[in-house]
Structure 1
Amino acid sequence: MAGSRSTEWNGNHSSVTMFVLIGLSDEKELQLILFPIFLGFYLVTFIWNMGLILLIKMDSHLHTPMYFFLSFLSFIDICYSSCISPRMISDFLKIVKTISFNACVTQYFVAAWMGFTECCLLSAMAYDWYVAIGSPLQYSVIMAPGLCGKMVAGAYLGGFLCSLSQTVSCFHLYYCGPNIIQHFFCDFPQIVSLSCSNPFISQITVLLVSIFIGFGSLLIILLSYCFIAASILKISAGKGIAKAFNTCASHLTVVTLYYGTAFSVYLHPKSSDSIKQDKVLSVFYVIIIPMLNPLIYSLRNKEVKAALKRLIKRARGLPHLE
């Protein structure tokens, strides 16, 4: 495929300056069908998450640690979806889906940053649930605004540093061709497989980062839920137990979806037959989950529904009871 390779000559060697994304499908008719579907997914993701952020910002009843973390989770989902979906959607209308080397680096860096930050933030939210259920009387003292701000800043900083280390380790490798990425976005397994140099250091870096952030944050979440379960078992009233379970059900659902699909994408053995499977799982991981998160946190949440009703009444100029 002579027309699919873009290279820059450097002495006796060449380096790739352009990658070609295979995309979800190479069937033109199917791509035209997928275009409005995924455009709708992206618009819904952006509107729902931005709407939840604004609702939390505008309603004083939602100015609590739980919704403080939730607003940043929605912001992460917007950034995560925005660094991948727009290009993927526009690629449905292209015959050759090219992406420059620098654009590929940027997309991978932002996606990894948001992904790692979400892991850290989900663990912070799990700790918040533990304090709320295990120590309700000391909750406001323990989860002070200063601590919440530091936890969010730590999540973003940790995600940034881990993403930076992975991006540098991946893209410092020598790429001389081929340049065809078997995916619809720039992701580590597909990129590093194109390298002409030894990827051992990069793979070790990714492994260490994955253990530190991925499994580390999951361990914090599991420990938090163990303590939550122990605290719930001490509650004698049936209604109290039901309320406690219902309180953390949304977060547990999001954690299960996020880590379940992430492990399915990155931990199963790679083969030629797994390419389509990787694409399907990645669609769910990077597109569907960011769209579902605000819905999961809102559907059974009485406080969010009440805040929405108050906002609608204020918009209509109707009196409402505090």
Structure 2
Amino acid sequence: MKKNMNKTTRSNFITYGIVIVLFAVVQILSSTGNLSRLLTGLLVPLCVYTIAAISLNLVVGFSGELSLGHAGFMCVGAYSSALFSHLAADALPPVPRFILAILIGAAVAGVFGILIGIPVLRLRGDYLAIVTLAFGEIIKNLINILYVGADKNGIHAATTSSGLELAAGGKKIMKGALGISGTATLYKEIKPYFFLIGVLLVLLTLFIVQNLVHSRSGRAVMSTRDNRIAAESVGINVTKYKLLAFTVSAALAGVAGVLYAHNISMLKVSVFDYNMSILILVYVVLGGIGNLRGSMIAAIILYALPELLRGFANYRMLIYAIVLIVMMLFNWAPAARTWRSRIAEKIRGGKTKKEAA
């Protein structure tokens, strides 16, 4: 047991080490002037999609359920936190305001995860995927018609622009399809540190997910994935543990949404569509279902690749498609998996010989 714990701890620290090394490399490149403006602009979004991919892997990889509504939870976290930031702009300094915005975004997304998860997680397979997809679209369309403003009399909401009546000096914050503007300018003092904040949030997400997976609750979650009937037969409450994984995943997706919302000048609900959910799912599948390191690396490579290949014009998406196919074959083709297992055994064998010597 102790050996197992040490192995798990070592694996966790290797994952943290990969993130820290990547951050150090980026900082060195930035300080020496070798980081282009394009790459600099991609750094925070890379953190956003890495957090989203790791959190979705908790549901898809460890819980064994297919969710297509992850963008909906990101949307809820993004809008709730951005709304809070505007309302508290004059009351709190940037740092505590941003910390509270992260907590509010995570909490609101987590509450939605519970509300959606209670009825939805009784479904399985394609039915669950369809319902979570519907949730994402419903959330998007509801926010698309919501107008929120604040004045001396308090906060007001309406479903039409003309229906939102504000007193003199009032401020319209949410503007329906036009979204929320100016959130990033509220944090201009700390915006240069958003990449550092993003890396810290990635590490926090990894810490939460890895500790949950290796806990007693995490083993119960994985048992429901491996054999639902056997798990129920030994007294495991399947719905409870699936709801736990779903709620934690939704809350972490909300954190990704907070970081996304505060990094851009114009937050629009149209971004959080079906395509975003599928994109995050692609990162999870190509990185390896149940493989947190793989999800992290796939998100970084596959998000940055189309932008880095812009110089190739018409061949950009062709190269991107080839990379997707190669990654899929490398992770899932039987021959490739056998080859990887053989290499891993050789490495382990070499280590064992060294330890014996």
**More contact order relative to length (CA 8 Å, sep ≥ 6):** 2
Q: Could you state the TM-score of these two structures normalised by the residue count of structure 1?
A: 0.30
Q: TM-score, normalised by structure 2?
A: 0.28
